[in-house]
Amino acid sequence: MVTWAEFSVAAPDLAAGGRELLYRRGDGEAMLATVRGDEPPRVHPINVGISGNGLYAFLLRSAKRQDLAQDGRFALHAHQDPAAPSEFLVRGRARRVEDPRTVSSVAAEWYFAVDETYHLYEFFIETALLGVRTADEWPPRYTTWAAPSDITQPVR
């Protein structure tokens, strides 16, 4: 798994397209799918942001935060716009950011005020998919990327 910065170097066009789709409505927005143990997956709307080297989200106490704390696996999909239905998806593992400097740096750029009740999570990318199309096109033109196995590292 890799950071957003490493992903951007390895697949610059895919990362640029993904960034555009995550921010297409201004603030970074996506749907987050999480899992925990044998429970069914959960899907949650969240704000995400690309800051420095990482892809981040501030999360309040919730099922999604518990899922990431206990399991870490995620899928993150940019919101779709029916008029411009391109799509972007990343999967991997997330971990809580404990470094106060990183938390402060990301919070300074965030869309809303965060306090100690929010935990910052970084999303490490294992695979990515970009599907490009207009409302009149079908099927989308898909580009996929996977982190090389020699740099895949556990993130726990």
Q: Per the domain annotation, does 130 fall within a domain? A: yes
Q: Per the domain annotation, does 128 fall within a domain? A: yes
pLDDT in tens, 76-90: 999 988 888 899 999
Q: Is 40 helix (H, G, I), strand (E, B) or coil?
A: coil
Categorize the per-residue pLDDT at 151 as very low, low, confident or very high, splitting at 50, 70 and 90.
Answer: low
Q: Per the domain annotation, does 131 fall within a domain? A: yes
Domain count, the chain: 1
Q: Per the domain annotation, does 53 fall within a domain? A: yes
Q: Per the domain annotation, does 152 fall within a domain? A: no
Q: Per the domain annotation, does 151 fall within a domain? A: no
- Given this model, what pLDDT does residue 83 score? 83
pLDDT in tens, 23-74: 999 999 999 999 988 889 999 999 999 999 999 999 999 999 999 999 999 9
pLDDT in tens, 99-143: 999 999 999 999 999 999 999 999 999 999 999 998 888 888 999
Q: Per the domain annotation, does 154 fall within a domain? A: no
In the predicted structure, residue 154 carries a pLDDT above the cut 60: no
C-alpha span between 126 and 122 (Å, rounded)? 13
User: Containing domain of residue 15, as a range?
Assistant: 4-146
What is this structure's pTM? 0.92
Q: Per the domain annotation, does 121 fall within a domain? A: yes
C-alpha span between 111 and 3 (Å, rounded)? 21
In the predicted structure, residue 152 carries a pLDDT above the cut 50: no
81 strand-pairing partners: 84
pLDDT in tens, 7-27: 999 999 999 999 999 999 999
Which domain CATH number covers 64?
Answer: 2.30.110.10
C-alpha span between 49 and 122 (Å, rounded)? 10
